[in-house]
Structure 1
Amino acid sequence: TKVKGIGPVYAGKLADHGITTFVGLAAADATTIAEALDVSPEQVADWSNQARGLS
């Protein structure tokens, strides 16, 4: 992935939750994804901002 901080493990976990595109990541609710992946909402917000720049 081109989003800094998302490697194969997190990419797989995101895919398990139906997020497979930059647009999907940018549109996802940060709190929900953070809880599902056991990361901070701030981390997900950063990924989302990066994804917006790539979509």
Structure 2
Amino acid sequence: MSSVKIACLKLHFIAEILIENQLLLKSKWRSTLYNNIDNGDYLLSCLEMKNNASNLLKA
């Protein structure tokens, strides 16, 4: 397996963990200012990172 594919797999795995953590935070602190402002942008960034890694793995 090439080093690029290994890096993409690692990136995909890290993104999954970050997404799960953000969803857990969102469920715990549903009404906080942090959740309303920062969590959405951060979660979208993690989802984008996961999708990019997935697309690179498919190539």
Higher helix share: 2
* Same structural fold, with TM-score higher than 0.5 when normalized by the shorter chain: no
Larger Rg: 2
TM range, normalised to the smaller chain? 0.3 to 0.5
Q: TM-score, normalised by structure 2?
A: 0.35
* Greater RCO (Cα-Cα under 8 Å, separation 6 or more): 2
